[in-house]
Chain A
Amino acid sequence: MIEDTVIGSIEQQEYTINMGPQHPSTHGVLRLVVSLKGEIVTQVKPHLGYIHRGIEKMSESMTYPQIVHLTDRLDYLSAHINNHALCLAVENALQVEVPERVKYIRTIMDELNRIASHQLWWCSFGMDLGALTCFFYGLRDREYILDIFEESCGSRLLHSYYTPGGLMKDIHPGFQKRVKDFIKYFRKVLPEYDQLLTGNVIMQERTRGIGNITKEEAISYGFTGPSGRGSGFACDVRKHHPYALYDKVDFQEVLYHEGDSLARYQVRIGEMWESMKIIEQLIDNIPEGDYSAKMKAVIKLPEGEYYQRVEAARGEFGVYILSDGGKTPYRLKLRSPNFSNLSAIDLLARNFKIADLIAIGGSLDLVIPDIDR
Chain B
Amino acid sequence: MNNEVLKEKILAVLPKAEFAPAGQWLTITLPKERIRSYCQTLKDSPELRFDFLFCQTGLDLADQFQVIYHLESTEFRYVIVLKASIPNKENPEIDTVSDIYRTAEFHEREIYDFFGIHFKQHPDLRRIFLDEISDMIGHPFRKDYKDEVNIIER
Q: Residues of A with Cβ closer than 8 Å to B?
A: 47-50, 52, 54, 56-57, 61, 92, 216-217, 219-222, 224, 233-235, 240-241, 304-307, 309, 316, 318, 320, 322, 331, 333, 335, 339-340, 342-344, 372
Q: Are B103 and A48 in contact (CB under 8 A)?
A: no
Q: Are A49 and B23 in contact (CB under 8 A)?
A: no
Chain A residues within 8 Å of B52, by CB: 219, 222, 235
Q: Are B74 and A233 in contact (CB under 8 A)?
A: yes
Q: Are A320 and B55 in contact (CB under 8 A)?
A: yes
Q: Are B74 and A307 in contact (CB under 8 A)?
A: no
Top-8 shortest CB links A-B:
A222-B103, A49-B129, A52-B129, A343-B106, A335-B55, A333-B57, A220-B102, A221-B102
Tell me the minimal C-beta distance from B92 to chain A in angstroms.
16
Q: Among B70, B105, B130, which residue has its beta carbon within 8 angstroms of that of A52?
A: B130
Complex CA distance for A235 and B54, rounded to whole angstroms: 11
Q: Among B57, B74, B105, B152, which residue has its beta carbon within 8 angstroms of that of A343?
A: B105
Overall SS of chain A's interface: mixed
Given contacts A49-B128, A219-B74, A221-B103, contact A61 B23 (CB under 8 A): no
Tell me the minimal C-beta distance from B82 to chain A in angstroms.
13
Complex CA distance for A57 and B129, rounded to whole angstroms: 13
What would 28 A/B residue contacts be, using CB atoms closer than 8 Å? A48-B129, A49-B132, A50-B132, A52-B130, A56-B114, A57-B140, A61-B151, A92-B24, A220-B101, A220-B102, A221-B103, A222-B52, A222-B53, A222-B102, A233-B74, A234-B74, A241-B79, A305-B23, A307-B25, A316-B54, A318-B54, A318-B70, A331-B60, A331-B141, A339-B106, A343-B105, A344-B102, A372-B129
Is residue B77 contacting chain A, with contact meaning CB distance below 8 A? yes
Q: Among A56, A57, A340, which residue has its beta carbon within 8 angstroms of that of B103?
A: A340
Is residue B16 contacting chain A, with contact meaning CB distance below 8 A? no
Given contacts A219-B74, A222-B54, A331-B59, contact A343 B141 (CB under 8 A): no
Extra A-B contacts (20), CB below 8 Å, given A49-B129, A343-B105 = A48-B129, A52-B130, A54-B140, A57-B140, A57-B151, A61-B153, A92-B24, A220-B102, A222-B54, A222-B102, A234-B74, A316-B54, A320-B57, A320-B70, A331-B141, A340-B103, A340-B107, A342-B106, A343-B103, A372-B129
Q: Are B101 and A222 in contact (CB under 8 A)?
A: yes
Tell me the minimal C-beta distance from A341 to chain B in angstroms.
9
Q: Among A49, A61, A343, A372, which residue has its beta carbon within 8 angstroms of that of B131?
A: A49
Complex CA distance for A344 and B101, rounded to whole angstroms: 12
Tell me the minimal C-beta distance from A289 to chain B in angstroms.
28
Chain B residues within 8 Å of A318, by CB: 54-55, 70
Beta-carbon contacts of B37-56 to A below 8 Å, as 1s and 0s? 00000000000000111110
Q: Are A307 and B55 in contact (CB under 8 A)?
A: yes
Chain B residues within 8 Å of A320, by CB: 55, 57, 68, 70
Q: Among A49, A61, A219, which residue has its beta carbon within 8 angstroms of that of B51?
A: A219
Complex CA distance for A143 and B110, rounded to whole angstroms: 37
Chain A residues within 8 Å of B114, by CB: 56
Tell me the minimal C-beta distance from A212 to chain B in angstroms.
15
Chain B residues within 8 Å of A333, by CB: 55, 57
Tell me the minimal C-beta distance from B126 to chain A in angstroms.
10
Chain A: which residue is nearest B150 at the CB level?
Answer: A54
Residues 42-95 of B at the A interface (beta carbon under 8 Å): 51-55, 57, 59-60, 68, 70, 74, 77, 79
Q: Are A49 and B57 in contact (CB under 8 A)?
A: no
Chain B: which residue is nearest A315 at the CB level?
Answer: B54
Tell me the minimal C-beta distance from B44 to chain A in angstroms.
13
Residues 87-146 of B at the A interface (beta carbon under 8 Å): 101-103, 105-107, 110, 114, 128-133, 140-141
Tell me the minimal C-beta distance from B85 to chain A in angstroms.
14
Chain A: which residue is nearest B106 at the CB level?
Answer: A343
Chain A: which residue is nearest B154 at the CB level?
Answer: A61
Q: Are A217 and B77 in contact (CB under 8 A)?
A: no
Chain B: which residue is nearest A216 at the CB level?
Answer: B51
Q: Are B24 and A57 in contact (CB under 8 A)?
A: no
Chain B residues within 8 Å of A344, by CB: 102
Complex CA distance for A251 and B149, rounded to whole angstroms: 51
Tell me the minimal C-beta distance from B142 to chain A in angstroms.
10
Chain A residues within 8 Å of B79, by CB: 241
Q: Among A57, A307, A309, A335, which residue has its beta carbon within 8 angstroms of that of B141?
A: A57
Q: Are A220 and B51 in contact (CB under 8 A)?
A: yes
Tell me the minimal C-beta distance from B90 to chain A in angstroms.
21
Chain B: which residue is nearest A222 at the CB level?
Answer: B103
Complex CA distance for A117 and B54, rounded to whole angstroms: 23
